[in-house]
Amino acid sequence: MVRAEQVVIAQLTDTHISVGDHGLGQAYWDENTRRLRSAVRSLNAETEPPAVVIGTGDLVECGSTAAYEILTEITSQLNMPFWPLPGNHDSRVNIRKSFPEMPWEENHASWSQEVPDTDIQVIALDTTQAGRQGGFVDAERLEWVADQIDQATWARKPCVVATHHPPFLTGIDWMDAMGFEGFDELRAVFIEHPPTQIISGHFHRNITAQVGTTVASVGIATTMHINLDLSNAAVPSIINDPIGYQLLSIPNDEEPQVITHTRFIDRASVARPIQVQI
């Protein structure tokens, strides 16, 4: 396939839209809505427009239909397709209903599709299970993702795997402690079947690691970030770090690679403690 010199895809994550109070006050959630609107305006203003925007989960706070109505009202204003996958705060039922055009798998809310007019495959792996904050993959999902990566690799296509929960430990212990069932098995799949890049959410901040030979990254959220505290004594806290999204540039090279940039669209303040359920 002949394609442009580079293709840019965007990663928007952890927008946490809500209409409820959830103990933080309605103003907190109104701010998340405002931030998503400003991210959409910024994405539409990119001089090298992203071909698609991938939403790597926790798109709403509590899975409600009303929250997805706000989400879809705002993301429908994007000049390019918005391809969502669920995080632990999403509802797999309502995300499917809200984005019926996505080629959802039947038994898990994963999908795999080609970026229009390119040979780039995006493979979104659902790492959620109802009632669980941490990650989850079973044998069926492991087999599915390995097969999807193999198909792209055999066709020499760049392939980006998107997950909500990252397949690496971050060192932010209270978040890592949420756990990930099937973690070792998923890493083994990525080591044996390396995709071009792995992008994730859940931690709300830029983090980069390596899984086998593949670069794996977490993108910054548009909502408040998990506080950066790497001490073993770190207490759960969030911080108003600068928000934005990722731009992944994929050059039309012989050897597929992804170059990741961060677009900042807002400013910072101080950390605040929060209550979490693990």
CB of 168 to Fe ion, least distance (A): 15
CB-closest chain residue to Fe ion: 58
Please report which helix (H) or strand (E) contains residue 238, including its range: strand 237-239
Determine, following the binding rule CB under 5 A, whether residue 126 of this chain makes contact with Fe ion. Answer: no
Closest C-alpha to 178, from 232, 218, 126, 133:
133
Name residue, tokens 């989960």. Answer: 57
Given candidates 18, 88, 98, 110, which one binds Fe ion under the rule CB under 5 A?
88
- What φ, ψ does residue 69 adopt, rounded to 5°? -65, -40
In whole angstroms, the minimum distance from the beta carbon of 182 to Fe ion comes to 16
Pick one of 108, 193, 202, 225: the residue that binds Fe ion (CB under 5 A).
202
Give me the least distance between CB of 178 and Fe ion, in Å please. Answer: 8
Rg (CA), the chain: 17
Q: Which of 9, 10, 12, 14 binds Fe ion (CB under 5 A)?
A: 14
Smallest gap from residue 164 Cβ to Fe ion (A) = 6
- Contact flag: residue 87 with Fe ion (CB under 5 A): yes
Q: How far is CA 251 from CA 9, 116, 169, 261, in A?
A: 11, 16, 29, 13
- Amino acid code (one letter) for 180: F
Least separation in angstroms between CB 245 and Fe ion: 14
**CA dist 235 to 110, 172, 175, 187, 224, Å?**
33, 10, 10, 28, 16
Residue 209 Cβ, how far from Fe ion at the closest point, in Å? Answer: 17
Task: Indicate the DSSP class of residue 209.
Answer: E
With tokens 């409820």, the residue in question is 20
Return the range that interacts with Fe ion (CB under 5 A); candidates 57-65, 92-100, 113-121, 261-269.
57-65
| Contact status: 58 vs Fe ion (CB under 5 A) | yes
Q: Looking at 10-18, 111-119, 143-151, 245-253, which segment touches Fe ion (CB under 5 A)?
A: 10-18
Binding region for Fe ion (CB under 5 A) out of 75-83, 97-105, 169-177, 196-204:
196-204
Work out whether 225 is an interface residue with Fe ion (CB under 5 A): no
What angle (nearest 5°) sits at the alpha carbon of residue 96, between those of residues 26 and 51?
A: 90
Measured from the CB atom, the residue of 218 and 248 that comes closer to Fe ion is 218
Distance CA 194, CA 130 (A): 28
Positions in the binding site for Fe ion (CB under 5 A): 14, 58, 87-88, 202
